[in-house]
Amino acid sequence: MATLFGFEIRRKADDQATASFAPLALDDGAHQVSTGGMYGTYVDLEGATRTEAEMITRYRRMSMQPECDMAIDDIIHEFIVYDEHNRLVEINLDKVKGLSNSTKKVIQEEFEYVLDLLEFNEKGYEVARHWYIDGRMFYHIIIDPDNVEDGIQELRYIDPRKIKKVRENKKERIPGTQVTVERTISEFFLFNNKGFVGYPGGTPTSAGQDQGVKIAKDAILHCTSGVMSEDNRMVLSHLHKAIKPLNQLRILEDATVIYRIARAPERRIFYIDVGNLPKMKAEQYLRDMMVKHKNRLIYDAETGQIRDDRKFMTMLEDYWLPRREGGRGTEISTLPGGQNLGEMDDVLYFQKKMYKSLNVPVSRLEPETGMTLGRATEINRDEVKFQKFIQRLRMRFSMLFDAALEKQLVLKGHMTPEEYADIRRNIKYDFKQDNYFTELKENEVITERINTVNAVDPFVGKYFSQDWVRRNILRMSDDEIMMLDQQIKDEADTDTEMDAALADPDMGTNNIDGTSGPPNDSEPPSDG
């Protein structure tokens, strides 16, 4: 602990009794090093060696491209749905067993406190966008060393190019065999404020490029994308698949612009009859004719002015060719401009390819294409796949909440690390959905199920049972069946009581005058 900065939560010792020749394949992006050494991690992309910091910088540059930025916005807007009245995400403890209501209430309060530390309800879009683009996110957990029971005081964001996780392993040989196993000795984070290799300010030749401050594992909040390189050594962003399509799109757009500038205008060819003039005089005569008939007005794109300048000659100028005596004399002909300037199929192809690489439906690329809400048959397959992709992103991002909640509960003494590990898998995080879209989808599902029940109703009691229909068509669970049966019974009892009250005059409702019994509609009999 003397060599580490920060705090460490004490856990029960893991003796790693079960040894295996196959090392663990983890997706936290930790740099695997041997005892006493430290090495950097590189990935070879398109023939160029890239470090982790260089890749993050490249991802951020990609996000500034218009097409890529539109795709990221579509993803994050589905990821984070803003609600004016409720929080963006809520914790769900329904499946957690063995906890009292008071303990669940404490967990709810601490989770809301963690959300406030992250400013998630105000900056949820920015937080999710940074995590998606970089492929990782780091927060420094700041506590009061003198009052640890007060919990987390601040969560401070750390640039992922300045920090990396290191896992120190030790190789051991199982006695009596030739099998070598790796055991984890320690895990910590390495922080360098100047950045590591590839970060602006750091160079591959800089001394101490892998040196920095060792920070305890529990003092850092860490969440990655889960996408790993081929050798499982580097964490990649979800944007990694779009690197090649985006580069191809940029090159093709630049080539299209150059072609249109060069081929769009019509140009003229002037054949000047120079007769029998000598070569020098013929050239001089041709230059005089060029100056005489040259376009003198020039448009300055920077200032927006039109000026007369004869010393500039561009590639879009007309052609001047001499012609000797005996030819057809002076002639002017016109070269046509580009004939295929309106074709954009190749550009649109690579735009769609880039959207597909980011798992965004291609239909969202066309602004004139409206979104149809209503029947399930009108929802295309790409939108369904996109919703599943968003759910995977939310599940992965929830690891950030899970790690922060664990630290908060342990520091404040509500739970031990072992107790939280027992309930961790049953804790769910519910993100806000697009309410209108979700409501329409649920209504459509219920309608289709009811139609199916009506179709099989004549066969209930002959080929199907009511329990089978409830479980297989209506998709009810055991708890739902018990709850609905009880509600149906209660409602039936209430209806029976009301029918009996209406049938019995003595149990009728009160009259207008406040008396009970049958209504007094007729006039009272007269004494006569």
* CA atoms lying within 13 Å on the CB side of residue 19: 13
Residue 151 — left, alpha, or beta (φ > 0 → left; ψ -120 to 50 → alpha)? left
Query: Could you tell me if 218 and 76 lie in one domain?
Result: yes
> Cα–Cα distance between 305 and 299 in angstroms, integer?
6
pLDDT for residue 429 = 93
Instruction: Compare 79 and 518 and report the one with higher pLDDT.
Output: 79
User: Residue 416 pLDDT > 70, yes or no?
Assistant: yes
Helices then strands (H, E): number in the chain? 12, 18
**Amino acid, single-letter form, for residue 247:** N
pLDDT for residue 22 = 58
* Residue pair 131/160 in contact by the 8 Å Cβ criterion: no
Domain boundary among the residues 385, 406, 433 is at 433
User: Residue 362 pLDDT > 50, yes or no?
Assistant: yes
What percentage of the chain carries pLDDT values higher than 90?
23
pLDDT for residue 348 = 87
Query: Could you tell me if 212 and 283 lie in one domain?
Result: no
pLDDT for residue 333 = 76
* Chain segment 126-139, per-residue pLDDT in tens: 999 999 999 999 99
* Residue pair 223/212 in contact by the 8 Å Cβ criterion: no
User: Residue 42 pLDDT > 50, yes or no?
Assistant: no
Over residues 265-289, mean pLDDT = 82
In angstroms, how far is the first alpha carbon of the chain from the final one? 110
* Chain segment 378-415, per-residue pLDDT in tens: 556 777 788 889 999 999 999 999 999 999 999 999 98
pTM, two decimals, is: 0.71
pLDDT for residue 18 = 54
Query: Could you tell me if 316 and 377 lie in one domain?
Result: no
Domain boundary among the residues 407, 433, 459 is at 433
Query: Could you tell me if 208 and 111 lie in one domain?
Result: yes
47 band by pLDDT with thresholds 50, 70 and 90: very low
Residue 39 CB: number of other CB atoms within 10 A?
A: 11
Query: Could you tell me if 46 and 142 lie in one domain?
Result: yes
Query: Could you tell me if 290 and 177 lie in one domain?
Result: no
* Residue pair 365/351 in contact by the 8 Å Cβ criterion: yes
Q: How far is CA 461 from CA 22, 301, 450, 457, 464, in A?
A: 56, 83, 18, 9, 6
Q: How many domains, the chain?
A: 2
Over residues 292-296, mean pLDDT = 65
Q: How far is CA 301 from CA 8, 248, 305, in A?
A: 62, 29, 7
| Average pLDDT of the chain to the nearest whole number | 78
Query: Could you tell me if 378 and 294 lie in one domain?
Result: no
Over residues 275-280, mean pLDDT = 84
Q: What phi, psi does 194 have (nearest 5°)?
A: -85, -5
pLDDT for residue 58 = 92
Q: Which domain range does residue 205 map to?
A: 31-238+371-433
Question: Which helix (H) or strand (E) is 428 found in, with range?
Answer: strand 428-431
Instruction: Compare 279 and 373 and report the one with higher pLDDT.
Output: 279
DSSP for 240-282? GGGHHHHHHHHHHHHHHHHHHHHHSS-EEEEEEEEET--HHHH
* Residue pair 359/389 in contact by the 8 Å Cβ criterion: yes
**Amino acid, single-letter form, for residue 231:** D
Query: Could you tell me if 56 and 153 lie in one domain?
Result: yes
User: Residue 4 pLDDT > 80, yes or no?
Assistant: no
Residue 244, domain member (yes or no): no
* CA-CA-CA-CA dihedral for 414, 417, 418, 422, to nearest 10: 80
Query: Could you tell me if 319 and 384 lie in one domain?
Result: no
Residue 523, domain member (yes or no): no
Domain boundary among the residues 418, 433, 448 is at 433
Query: Could you tell me if 167 and 271 lie in one domain?
Result: no
Q: Which of 110-114, 127-131, 166-170, 242-246 has the lowest mean pLDDT?
A: 166-170
